[in-house]
Amino acid sequence: MANPDITRIAGNIGALNALQQLSTINNKLAVHQSRLASGKRINSAADDPAGLTIATKMQARSEGLKTALDNIGDAKNMLSVAESGLSKLTDILVQMRSKAEQAASDTLGETERQTIQTQLSAFAAQIDSIIAETKWNDVQLLDGNINKRFQTGADAGEVTTWNMTQKHDATTLGISTVEANNGTANEDIAHGVTAYNGDMAIFDGLSRLGTGTYQVKVDEVAATSTEGTLNVLTSVAGNNGQVTLGTVANATSELANGTSSIEITGYNTGTHALSYSLNGVAQSDVTITGDDDEIALGDTGVTVALADYGAAVQNGTYTIDYVQSDTARMQLQTASGTAIAVDANGSDGAPNATSTYFYVTASNTYNTGKGLQITAGDLTALTNNKGSVSSFDYVQANDNSVNVSTAELASNYMTTVNAALDTVNRSMADLGSLMARMSIKEEAVTSSQINVESSYNRIMNANMAEEQVNASKYLILQQTATAMLAQANTAPQFLLSLFQ
């Protein structure tokens, strides 16, 4: 600072010194007033270049950590949606297990088991519905195709991954079977009988088989290609065995399969001519040639014989059941043996009647009209197994099919549901572990963000108390400097006394 020379009035050095100090004070006061006004310690790069650089990086990291916290919150919400879906699956599976346990008891009948089976199928369909509807931003969460990355840190590469490759639909869990087009049946069931599906029409008056266990009974077999089988259902009262009916070889026009009636309308003991009608239609007489001789009734495939052809024969009607040559008569039954009505005409088209029996020729296929076809193999083999029952499982088309039609199947289904529960529980455990990890990550990121924000605040923001003290100080100095400037301006005036 220059020393003033009061004798040299052409230059007022004292006033200039005071003015310099006042300018310096004003500049410093302006800095502190700017900090007080903005709340920031650094208002321009010139205030603290190094501090500004550090603070800017810290601000970027703080904002990145805030975004990471938002990402973590969204990820937890996404995981919660998946957890909610899995939780609902668990609830349904527990109910399904209880129903299967109920069906595993032989105190239930077929109707009750069918009701439970229908309910289990509905549960399985609901599981598939939950899988389809458990979404986040139109992305399915439980379909086994999850491979997600969550940005859970402020820097690139600081991610948390979620992988779920386990599918949870009813088919994958094994609790139902879905057939897209046709029903299915295990084919080779036994004794040369085959049951299988086809894209078959369901005939009028019938409905497709439901999923379940069924059986085919081989009721009667005419194994030869030349002679059918005949069963007399109703005899003529009073004949006392006088008239017997049988089958004839090489019939050219056999009776239709099924029930027919043969009515004896007269017998001439002189000419031994027997008059009869078939299913209400009179036929040509046949002549009896001797005792116990089997005489063909036309080309019907039926013979008649008299124990004493000279004796009188009482008129009356025989009700018979006939199976044509090279044909097997079968019956479709439930697992407990209850007969199921099928198409009386087989594959011939829409039925005009239904029947509990159907007839299949060797190696040919019969369409039951209920979404199932039956094929008979070697009739000779079937003859040896006449009366046999062959079981098979059938899965209905276009359905979440469940089979608990027997106590054993229901018991097995309980095991299947238990395995499905284990699968869902493992997924729940994995999901829960990830959610817990995300919560820990959230706490860590929150703590980091607070600490970074604190460091940024210390560098970038003003200490308001300190700035107020400094501003007050410079306000006082401003006043004293102004006063001293005024005094410095008046100091040279004493030299005027030298000119008096």
**Secondary structure (H, E, C), 365-406:** EEECCCCCEEEECCHHHHHHCCCCEEEEEEECECCCECCCCC
For 275, how many CA atoms within 13 A lie in the half-sphere containing its CB? Answer: 11
Contact 181, 327 (CB under 8 A): no
What does the alpha-carbon distance between residue 173 and residue 452 come to, in Å, rounded to a whole number? 49
For 483, how many CA atoms within 13 A lie in the half-sphere containing its CB? Answer: 6
How far CA 113 is from CA of 99, 106, 135, 308, in Å, comes to 10, 10, 35, 57
Contacts with 459 (C-beta within 8 Å, 6 or more apart), sequence order: 41, 42, 48, 51, 54, 55, 58
* Residue 473: both structure tokens together: 């100080």
Determine the Cα angle at 185 with ends 180 and 186, to 5°: 130
For 140, how many CA atoms within 13 A lie in the half-sphere containing its CB? Answer: 15
Taking alpha carbons only, the member of 93, 175, 159 closest to residue 403 is 175
As a whole number, mean pLDDT of residues 206-220 equals: 84
Residue 405 CB neighbour total at 10 angstroms: 24
Average pLDDT of the chain to the nearest whole number: 85
pLDDT at 205: 67
pLDDT at 83: 95
- Sign of the four-CA dihedral 381, 387, 388, 392: positive
Coil, strand or helix at 39: coil
Tell me 255's DSSP state: P
| CATH topology (fold) of 63-176+406-448 | f41 fragment of flagellin, N-terminal domain (1.20.1330)
What does the alpha-carbon distance between residue 365 and residue 103 come to, in Å, rounded to a whole number? 34
Contact 22, 478 (CB under 8 A): yes
pLDDT in tens, 231-240: 888 877 666 6
What percentage of the chain reaches a pLDDT higher than 70?
Answer: 89
Contact 242, 313 (CB under 8 A): yes
**Structure pTM?**
0.65
What does the alpha-carbon distance between residue 101 and residue 453 come to, in Å, rounded to a whole number? 60
Determine the Cα angle at 274 with ends 272 and 279, to 5°: 175
As a whole number, mean pLDDT of residues 58-75 equals: 92
What does the alpha-carbon distance between residue 178 and residue 395 come to, in Å, rounded to a whole number? 8
User: Strand 146-151 relative to strand 365-367: parallel, antiparallel, unpaired?
Assistant: unpaired
DSSP string, 340-370: --EETTGGGSS-SSEES-EEEETT-EEE-SS
pLDDT at 88: 96
**Burial class of residue 158, CB neighbours in 10 A (0-12, 13-18, 19+):** middle
Instruction: Give the burial string for 355-383 (b: 16+ CB within 10 Å, else e).
Output: bebbbbbbeeebbbbbbbbbbbbebeebb
What does the alpha-carbon distance between residue 306 and residue 309 come to, in Å, rounded to a whole number? 5
pLDDT at 185: 64
Q: Best-predicted range by mean pLDDT among 20-29, 359-368, 448-457?
A: 448-457
CATH 1.20.1330.10 location in the chain: 63-176+406-448
pLDDT in tens, 345-384: 665 555 556 788 888 887 777 888 887 888 877 777 777 7
As a whole number, mean pLDDT of residues 446-453 equals: 92
pLDDT in tens, 73-122: 999 999 999 999 999 999 999 999 999 999 999 888 888 888 998 899 99
* Residue 420: both structure tokens together: 């499905």
